[in-house]
Amino acid sequence: MAKKQFKAESKRLLDLMINSIYTNKEIFLREIISNASDAIDKLCYMSLTDDSIGMNRSDFRIDIIPDKTARTLTIRDNGIGMTMAEAEQNLGVIAKSGSFAFRNEMTAGQTVEENEDSDRNGAEDLSIIGQFGVGFYSAFMVSDEVTVISRKYGEAEGVRWNSKGADGYTVAPCERETVGTDVIMHIKPDTDEEIFGTYLEVWKIKALVRKYSDYVRWPIRMDVEHQERFESEEKNDDGSPRYEYKMVTENETINSMVPIWQRSKSEVTDDDCIAWYKEKNRDRKDPCALVRVNAEGAVSYRAMLFVPGEQNENVFTGDNKGGITLYSNGVMIMEKCDKLVHEYFGFVKGVVDSPDLSLNISRELLQHDRQLRIIGQNLEKRIKGELEKLMRDDRPKYEAFYKNFGIDLKAGVCDEYGRYKDFLRDLLIFWTSEDKQITLKEYVANMPESQKAIYYASSDSLKHALALPQCEEVRRRGYELLYLTHPVDEAVLQSLMEQDGKRFLNVVTDDLGFETEEEKKAAEERDIENRELLDFVKENAVEGISRVKLSNRLASRPCAMTTEGNITLEMERYFRYGPSEQYRDLRATRVLELNPEHPAFAALREAYENDREKAGKLAKILSVLAGISAGDELENAAEFTDLVAELF
């Protein structure tokens, strides 16, 4: 029989398939099953108006028949089938618009390796094609020969199409008893790198069907062997029944068919969705928010998304990230689509199903991108809405969510120079006392008339932040504070810049504006008066202090360590132990503040005048104490204890 040649562009695609460029070869099964499902759709649709077809909805099915002896995998459907002309037409060319996008990326004769090196975009697009589907040709990723035996509805004769790959195909009439199509894939021999034989294993096929084709609406059936227990005729010695086991083969439906998200809210309750989520994600905890969308418009889609209550750590894979799975009419296109929502909502899990996302590359890829963006934007609004609702209605639950995923939101605020900060700011909460967290809006709403700014204190723990001496002055005035406890918090406030027109002020480093002009002047004069003593303290203090000054902000504390400039002590510590080598030696500019109203200062002055040696010791002790209360480590504990003991 004379071989016919594939059209040029089909040949190129075929070459790629045969040379197995796609890492996820397993998608071939999804592609062949989708075609079968489409073929059934067509015949089923016709049978609605044409009784002579003699088929009921329940008669339609897809069979998977692995045959290890012949090393073939057959996908059989009783759909519409193909005539000989159609088989030639459909299996000999790839869809026009798809080939257009494809041709643009691949230049003649270029291998994929070259392409990856010389043209990153080309390589990326290739992987996208892999995700979006490649149709019938994908069979050649795992087969070295494909035979299609089909009989079109209304035709007396069938067609046999056969191809061993790029060198062409044959077509010939053949017998086929019933209407429908068999796609028979002759699975490639195993190689050192790849065990193609696994595609003939029932467990593997089942897993692939569950992964990619679980929601195909026609039953996918396969012979599955399992152990069955039966009562033996013989009894046990004590007369009790004896059981034996044998392997039985049963023809089972291996897909669950109806995607839960395709059903309306009246059919499926939120609780049903939650139960589904828990089973799918092996999460024992309820999600803390659920978003269900049925959108029709520029892009139609259904979505069912979950905000997990806790980080669901998968102990086996360490994979605890969320992820949205993309479906097109129940057929999985992409397991984790990171194009839908931004990273700050990366914890969201669930599914999006849109018939507008074509499985095949019959549309330009860019168009998918645009559709995904539209869907993504809408979903982000809905997710935010649900989180706000949770925050309003069940604050403890929101706080639990925030404990796990607040960091993603905060990182989102800082990302891309604050591009998303206004979208996210209302979702942030901060500690405002030992046991209370509030939003920035709430903080501003609580502000008394006299308060001009938002005050915050930052430390490595809530306990330390609460204990910062500079906070006392603010609290004494009846103002609330935000206590920042995570290294990224300060960057978050810097990125937000303001809230409802109010600035953020760091109680440790910023001028809080509490002092009147007269007070400021008096303080300057006082510093000049005490200059000699302050210089003496600096000389005797621990190393690394750039300035010593007097301060009115210390309330009942004798001293405090503050900083000047952009680097705070928290940032210094973060960088010292943080992941980046580059900033390890970054140091804050330390300022030692002394409280002139405190008895310690009076004792220091007294010693300075009468006993310089003692004054030197006191200066050193005060500087160490200030460091400790700001979270510095006590570097030489023995020396410090001796120093204190010498004073008695």
Task: Enumerate binding residues for ligand ADP (CB under 6 A).
Answer: 31, 35-36, 39, 77, 79-82, 90-91, 95, 135-136, 181, 360, 362
User: 79 or 412, CB closer to ligand ADP?
Assistant: 79
User: 136 or 277, CB closer to ligand ADP?
Assistant: 136
For the bound state, the minimum distance from the C-beta of residue 181 to ligand ADP, rounded and expressed in Å, comes to 4
Residue corresponding to tokens 């191809």 = 163
For residue 174, give both structure tokens. 């053949």
For the bound state, the minimum distance from the C-beta of residue 217 to ligand ADP, rounded and expressed in Å, comes to 15
For the bound state, the minimum distance from the C-beta of residue 245 to ligand ADP, rounded and expressed in Å, comes to 38
Q: Using alpha carbons, select from 167, 218, 286, 252 the residue that is nearest to residue 41.
A: 218
User: 305 or 359, CB closer to ligand ADP?
Assistant: 359
**Contact in structure between 412 and 344 (CB atoms under 8 Å):** yes
User: 143 or 437, CB closer to ligand ADP?
Assistant: 143
State which residue has the least CB distance to ligand ADP. Answer: 135
For the bound state, the minimum distance from the C-beta of residue 223 to ligand ADP, rounded and expressed in Å, comes to 20
Distance, CA of 143 to chain centre? 35
For the bound state, the minimum distance from the C-beta of residue 173 to ligand ADP, rounded and expressed in Å, comes to 17
How many angstroms separate the CA atoms of 599 and 614, rounded? 16
For the bound state, the minimum distance from the C-beta of residue 143 to ligand ADP, rounded and expressed in Å, comes to 14
User: 182 or 386, CB closer to ligand ADP?
Assistant: 182
C-alpha triplet 423, 428, 432: angle, nearest 5°: 150
Residue corresponding to tokens 């089973």 = 279
User: 80 or 630, CB closer to ligand ADP?
Assistant: 80
For residue 393, give both structure tokens. 């209605």
For the bound state, the minimum distance from the C-beta of residue 147 to ligand ADP, rounded and expressed in Å, comes to 13
Q: Using alpha carbons, select from 137, 325, 55, 341 the residue that is nearest to residue 215.
A: 325
For the bound state, the minimum distance from the C-beta of residue 276 to ligand ADP, rounded and expressed in Å, comes to 29
Work out whether the CA dihedral 414, 420, 422, 426 comes out positive or negative.
negative
Q: Using alpha carbons, select from 503, 443, 510, 506 the residue that is nearest to residue 479.
A: 443
For the bound state, the minimum distance from the C-beta of residue 362 to ligand ADP, rounded and expressed in Å, comes to 5
How many angstroms separate the CA atoms of 506 and 619, rounded? 26
How many angstroms separate the CA atoms of 150 and 87, rounded? 8
Q: Using alpha carbons, select from 573, 549, 557 the residue that is nearest to residue 470.
A: 557
Q: Using alpha carbons, select from 120, 121, 168, 229 the residue that is nearest to residue 2.
A: 168
**Contact in structure between 289 and 310 (CB atoms under 8 Å):** no
For the bound state, the minimum distance from the C-beta of residue 148 to ligand ADP, rounded and expressed in Å, comes to 7
| Other Cβ atoms within 10 Å of 550 Cβ, number | 19
User: 22 or 402, CB closer to ligand ADP?
Assistant: 22
For the bound state, the minimum distance from the C-beta of residue 93 to ligand ADP, rounded and expressed in Å, comes to 9
Strands 502-506 and 545-550: unpaired
User: 99 or 432, CB closer to ligand ADP?
Assistant: 99
Residues in the chain: 648
User: 362 or 367, CB closer to ligand ADP?
Assistant: 362
User: 36 or 571, CB closer to ligand ADP?
Assistant: 36
User: 79 or 287, CB closer to ligand ADP?
Assistant: 79
For the bound state, the minimum distance from the C-beta of residue 224 to ligand ADP, rounded and expressed in Å, comes to 23
User: 135 or 322, CB closer to ligand ADP?
Assistant: 135
For the bound state, the minimum distance from the C-beta of residue 374 to ligand ADP, rounded and expressed in Å, comes to 23
Packing angle between helix 120-132 and helix 96-105, nearest 10 degrees? 150
User: 208 or 561, CB closer to ligand ADP?
Assistant: 208
User: 32 or 428, CB closer to ligand ADP?
Assistant: 32
For the bound state, the minimum distance from the C-beta of residue 220 to ligand ADP, rounded and expressed in Å, comes to 13
588 vs 250, 538, 561, 643, CA distance in Å?
Answer: 72, 17, 11, 26
For the bound state, the minimum distance from the C-beta of residue 36 to ligand ADP, rounded and expressed in Å, comes to 5
Q: Which residues have CB under 8 Å from 324's CB, separation 6+? A: 305, 336, 337, 340, 341, 348, 349, 350, 351, 352
For the bound state, the minimum distance from the C-beta of residue 128 to ligand ADP, rounded and expressed in Å, comes to 16
How many angstroms separate the CA atoms of 145 and 617, rounded? 90
How many angstroms separate the CA atoms of 322 and 351, rounded? 11
For residue 326, give both structure tokens. 């993309």
**Contact in structure between 367 and 128 (CB atoms under 8 Å):** no
How many angstroms separate the CA atoms of 387 and 196, rounded? 46
**Contact in structure between 376 and 299 (CB atoms under 8 Å):** no
278 vs 274, 286, 312, 320, 332, CA distance in Å?
Answer: 6, 7, 10, 14, 19
Distance, CA of 408 to chain centre? 10
Q: What is the DSSP string of 136-196?
A: GGGGGGTEEEEEEEEE-TT-SSEEEEEE-STT-EEEEEE--SSSEEEEEEEEPPP-SS--G
User: 152 or 421, CB closer to ligand ADP?
Assistant: 152
| Other Cβ atoms within 10 Å of 76 Cβ, number | 19
In 188-322, beta strands by DSSP E: 220-235, 241-253, 289-295, 301-307
User: 198 or 362, CB closer to ligand ADP?
Assistant: 362
